[in-house]
Amino acid sequence: MSSSPLVQAIQERLRDAGYRDLSTPFKVAGVEFAFTGAMRGRDGRALDLVLLIDTTTGDYGDRDGVRVRQRVEALSRALDVTGSRYVVTAILAGAVLAEGIDALSETCRVLQVEGVSLDSQGQPADETAKLQLDNRIRVLLPLTLPLPVAEAQNGSGPAMDRIVR
């Protein structure tokens, strides 16, 4: 597990959303793959494989965009060989990588998380920071619909009621 507070905050948010940690390095088709972190979805998200790449500390050569792309492409090929249906998402946590990341988006879904304010416990510092983190990984989070608003006095109610009228 990474000592990066940002990676830990992302992992905690994904755990809250129903993802579970995979031990790293992990093996696919007899080949070992090392990433800062890896998580897998459950239930409706059971085919989600999330790779956490810490571009700030640079573990596993993660500051080099070309090496990151090569590792993710190798994992993708190994998953293809095994007939896997996993949907791979790479979360780049920290500094933006300059090279090779555009090509990475051809292999998997790429999310960039940077600049989220964290408190001393490694949690988002305030509601704005929490919303910022959620917005960066929104595609992985369950959809939450707002509760219907009670009928207002001016006659405008919930959106569906207005559409029906």
Position 75 pLDDT exceeds 60: yes
DSSP 124: B
Mean pLDDT calculated for residue range 12-27: 94
3-state helix vs strand vs coil in the chain, percent to 5: 35, 20, 45
pLDDT single digits (tens) 80-120? 999 999 999 999 998 887 776 788 888 999 999 988 888 98
- With a threshold of 0.85, does the pTM exceed it? no
| Lowest-confidence pick of 4-18, 35-49, 143-157 | 143-157
- Considering only CA atoms, which of 2, 14, 5, 1 is closest in space to residue 114? 5
**Cβ-Cβ contacts under 8 Å for 159 (sequence gap 6 or more):** none
Contact 71, 161 (CB under 8 A): no
